[in-house]
Amino acid sequence: MNIMENESFKAKIEYDPDIDMFRGEILGLNGGADFYGKNPTELRREFKKSLETFLEVCEETGINPKKEYSGKFNLRIPPKLHSEIAAIATSEEKSINQWVSETLEHTLHA
């Protein structure tokens, strides 16, 4: 997956062969906003325009533009993996939650 950034917003970029254009979908919004471009320059310009329009509508309607996350999610993994994670976390004197959180953060920013 390709990610494009504009300010603090990110968009997933995919190529659509049916229309021979790139499509961007802005992520983490409290609604949907997408944009299209034939090349990276056009895509960046359309990203900015689409984001500005979305933010204007949110301001006019009093909606928070960014989706809010609780910081909690359930994850189902095989028992063997759970056991291995618990052992590693314990050996590092961390909770499973702390170990998984740090591991995910490290992976995202690697």
For strand 2-6 and strand 9-16, is the pairing parallel, antiparallel, or unpaired?
antiparallel
Residue 73 resides in a domain: no
Confidence at residue 110, expressed as pLDDT on a 0 to 100 scale: 85
pTM above threshold 0.85: no
On whether the CB atoms of residues 52 and 10 are closer than 8 A, the answer is no
Percentage of the chain surpassing pLDDT 90? 95
On whether the CB atoms of residues 95 and 89 are closer than 8 A, the answer is yes
Which residue, chain included where needed, has tokens 């984001």? 51
pLDDT in tens, 29-81: 999 999 999 999 999 999 999 999 999 999 999 999 999 999 999 999 999 99
Number of domains in the chain: 2
Residue 92 resides in a domain: yes
Answer yes or no: do 21 and 57 share one domain.
Answer: yes
On whether the CB atoms of residues 34 and 50 are closer than 8 A, the answer is yes
Confidence at residue 7, expressed as pLDDT on a 0 to 100 scale: 86
Could you give the 3-state DSSP secondary structure of residue 26?
Answer: strand
